Amino acid sequence: MTQSNAAPDVAAGRLSDEEYARNFADLHPLLDPHEARVEADRCYFCHDAPCMQACPTSIDIPQFIRQISTGNPTGSAKTIYDQNILGGMCARVCPTETLCEQSCVREVAEGKPVKIGQLQRYATDHYMSTNDKTPYTRKAASSKRVAVVGAGPAGLACAHALAVEGHDIDLYDARAKAGGLNEFGIAAYKSVDNFAAREVDFILSIGGITLKAGQKLGTDIHLADLRSQYDAIFLSIGLGGVNDLGLENEAKDGVLNAVDYISELRQAKDLSSLPVGKRVVVIGGGMTAVDIAVQSRLLGAEDVTIAYRRGQDRMNASEYEQHLAQTNGVKILTWAQPKGLVAQNGHISGIELEKTRETGGALKGTGETVTLPADMVFKAVGQTLVPAVLNGSGPAPQIEKGRIVVDADRKTSLDDVWAGGDCVLGGEDLTVAAVEDGKIAAAAIHRALSA
Ligand SMILES: Cc1cc2nc3c(=O)[nH]c(=O)nc-3n(C[C@H](O)[C@H](O)[C@H](O)COP(=O)(O)OP(=O)(O)OC[C@H]3O[C@@H](n4cnc5c(N)ncnc54)[C@H](O)[C@@H]3O)c2cc1C
Ligand code: SF4
């Protein structure tokens, strides 16, 4: 294997304060009222609107856009929240280019969709800047208690919908802060100004939800105990584990899990304190791979390469995300899989990649290799459920392919336990899909508690 002799170059403070501020500024700054009205006027307010059908939470898009065009952003936000109480975050992070905007008739006809995501943000930001509570009031107390475990988008959406119905919710989370990947995962330039935490406060303002932070299922709390204490349980624990590459030298300094590093970045008070390699290689092809690659560049890494084992059209990251990576100077190397990690004096110094090809659907290494020098290697090859947290004295819900099995109502194999978001089988691993799962489960739990 080729050895790299250069000493690892990993350093904090590669940029000036102004450069950090510019690099991590809002990706899509808020439209002003005039821009919002002009954009809203581009909408045809289609009957059977295809954009609405493409929205996983079925937001009435023509209706909320019409409300913006008639000067009623508060009503518009209410239309959005009726279907998606995390409409503010979804406006920032939804891959609209593959959802509503891809289906917009103006995209189909002229390749220029109505900017639905930005209009949604305009309405919801207006609402949150002029109100400090959700626009709903709770129904009469039901005396039913529900435990929601995991305060990410799925758990928050479920807890809010159940609280509206009058149930009392204990919202558990292993971390000290709620928000899940909205707080710890989403790229920093998509969610600026502490928006994730502000949205959590907004959701909790409904009342009836008690946040129990720092309570980990499997350690501090156990499913069997929760089942004996509550009328229903909703599991929304996301994916707490990460896949490894399975290579020698993986434990050496400089080889990092992308999600752990992003979480540190999202919580950093001062970005100049974060060490980043001069030469960075990212292994993966999804949103996490793109996010860590782009953010490494924005932290001042000079040479960043995403290595993906198949063709670019097979990457899970959308075309828009791939384009974002490339316009930020990230190289995308396709048909290349990790074969070996080169280390020197206990630190990573390079990565050996083997060329791949697909034959009859099966991916095979060709034997041809290339070694890239690297001061940091980020693993972004998928997250996994940690099923051990569900084990305990009582039965655990059925798991298949490493995820919790649920039916159409998001009910698990246990009668009083529902689940949703990334931790369930068949999910899309998107914020908006997690919100929809939370909504569907809340409706089913409410029906069960009302029977
Ligand atoms: C780096 C990255 C970037 C992403 N970018 C985007 C994007 O731009 N757009 C998009 O739509 N989607 C994006 N996603 C996907 C999106 O963030 C997830 O699909 C979504 O957050 C899933 O929501 P969830 O509620 O199921 O889980 P999570 O958001 O993961 O929340 C799970 C919660 O459960 C808690 N928890 C875990 N284990 C336990 C336990 N044992 N006990 C108690 N609590 C526990 C966690 O602390 C966490 O708060 C991204 C994902 C990653 C990793
Ligand atoms: S498809 Fe486009 S034009 Fe039609 S209602 Fe939706 S946003 Fe408006």
What is the Cα 206 distance to its own chain's centre? 24
Helix, strand and coil percent figures for the chain, each rounded to 5: 40, 20, 40
Are 305 and 360 in the same domain? yes
Are 165 and 214 in the same domain? yes
> Which phi and psi (to 5°) does residue 444 adopt?
-70, -40
Residue 55 sits in a domain whose CATH number is: 1.10.1060.10
Out of 101, 184, 287, 378, give the residue to mutate to test ligand 1, the one with the largest number of ligand atoms within 8 Å of its CB: 287
Cβ neighbors of 67 (< 8 A, separation 6 or more) are 73, 75, 76, 79, 123
Are 370 and 247 in the same domain? yes
Mean pLDDT of 160-184: 98
3-state SS class at 113: coil
Whether 2 is covered by a domain: the verdict is: no
Cβ neighbors of 349 (< 8 A, separation 6 or more) are 3, 4, 5, 6, 8, 254, 342, 343, 373, 374, 375
Say how many domains are in the chain.
3
Q: How confident is the model at residue 391 (pLDDT cuts 50, 70, 90)?
A: confident
Domain enclosing residue 49, as ranges = 33-130
- The ligand 2 atom at the shortest distance from the C-alpha of residue 105 is 1
Are 168 and 207 in the same domain? yes
Q: How confident is the model at residue 360 (pLDDT cuts 50, 70, 90)?
A: confident
Is the Cβ–Cβ distance between 397 and 237 less than 8 Å? no
Are 200 and 310 in the same domain? no
Q: Whose CA is nearest to atom 8 of ligand 2?
A: 43
> Which ranges constitute the DSSP H helices of 137-235?
153-164, 181-184, 195-204, 223-229
Is the Cβ–Cβ distance between 261 and 298 less than 8 Å? no
C-alpha 432 – ligand 1 centre gap (Å):
11
Least confident of 106-120, 232-246, 388-402: 388-402
Are 370 and 248 in the same domain? yes
Q: Is the CB of 285 under 6 A from ligand 1?
A: no
Whether 4 is covered by a domain: the verdict is: no
Q: Whose CA is nearest to atom 4 of ligand 2?
A: 46
Question: In this structure, which ligand is nearest to the CA of 190?
Answer: 1
What pLDDT sits at residue 1? Answer: 43
Q: Is the CB of 149 under 6 A from ligand 1?
A: yes
Mean pLDDT of 165-184: 98
Are 269 and 376 in the same domain? yes
Residue 411 sits in a domain whose CATH number is: 3.50.50.60
Is the Cβ–Cβ distance between 265 and 274 less than 8 Å? yes
Are 373 and 248 in the same domain? yes
Are 246 and 222 in the same domain? no
Whether 81 is covered by a domain: the verdict is: yes
Q: Is the pLDDT of residue 311 over 90?
A: yes
Are 249 and 331 in the same domain? yes
The mean predicted confidence, pLDDT, of the chain is 96
Residues in the chain: 451
Are 227 and 157 in the same domain? yes
Residue after which a domain boundary falls, among 82, 99, 130: 130
> Which ranges constitute the DSSP H helices of 301-418?
319-327
What is the DSSP-derived secondary structure letter of residue 16? -
Q: Which amino acid belongs to residue 220?
A: D
% of the chain surpassing 70 pLDDT: 98
Residue after which a domain boundary falls, among 130, 161, 191: 130
Distance CA 264, CA 89 (A): 20
% of the chain surpassing 90 pLDDT: 94
Mean pLDDT of 253-276: 97
CA nearest to 182, candidates 203, 209, 210:
203
Cβ neighbors of 16 (< 8 A, separation 6 or more) are none
Are 16 and 57 in the same domain? no
Question: In this structure, which ligand is nearest to the CA of 113?
Answer: 2
Q: How confident is the model at residue 6 (pLDDT cuts 50, 70, 90)?
A: low
What pLDDT sits at residue 2? Answer: 42
Is the Cβ–Cβ distance between 378 and 281 less than 8 Å? yes
C-alpha 354 – ligand 1 centre gap (Å):
32
Residue after which a domain boundary falls, among 130, 155, 176: 130
Distance CA 112, CA 14 (A): 38
What pLDDT sits at residue 5? Answer: 53
Whole-prediction pTM value?
0.96
Whether 3 is covered by a domain: the verdict is: no
Q: Is the CB of 152 under 6 A from ligand 1?
A: yes
